[in-house]
Amino acid sequence: MNLIVNVHKGVRKQGFEMATRQAWKCGIRANLVNRVIGVAKGQIVCVVEGVRAELSTPLNNPLHSDEKQGRYIFIGGVCWEPNSLLAPGFPDFMFMHIRSLGSKHKYMTDDELFLNLA
């Protein structure tokens, strides 16, 4: 399962990776997520593959605060950012646009993700 998140507001403060991993209000489906995709202005800017969801705490989230209590952070995995362009395994869908994405996060299977790429 993929989690598509809108990171436009957090990128300047936290960078691509932490804005993508950061504490999201997810339900129990967060435990099914194995890839988190950060999107800014409709374009994929960060992909973190092989993650696991944990409730945000000061121990696992350096940016934890009281407002992030009860939210999930995605730990581990391999992070792909724009600077990783020449690295082996770089995702083919990086920098593509995603259709039908609102301001909130969205869960998609791999098939749904590839159908919504533009």
DSSP string over 29-43: GGGG--EEEEEETTE
pLDDT exceeds cutoff 70 at 10: no
- Spatial contact of 26 and 56, defined as CB atoms under 8 Å apart: no
Question: Domain map of the chain by residue range?
Answer: 2-116
47 or 87, greater pLDDT = 47
- Spatial contact of 58 and 99, defined as CB atoms under 8 Å apart: no
Burial of 97 (0-12, 13-18, 19+ CB in 10 A): middle
Percent share of the chain, pLDDT over 70 = 99
Segment 65-99, tens digit of pLDDT:
777 788 888 999 999 888 877 777 888 888 899 98
**How far, CA to CA in Å, does 57 sit from each of 6, 29, 66, 70, 73?**
22, 19, 9, 9, 9
54's tokens: 């944990």
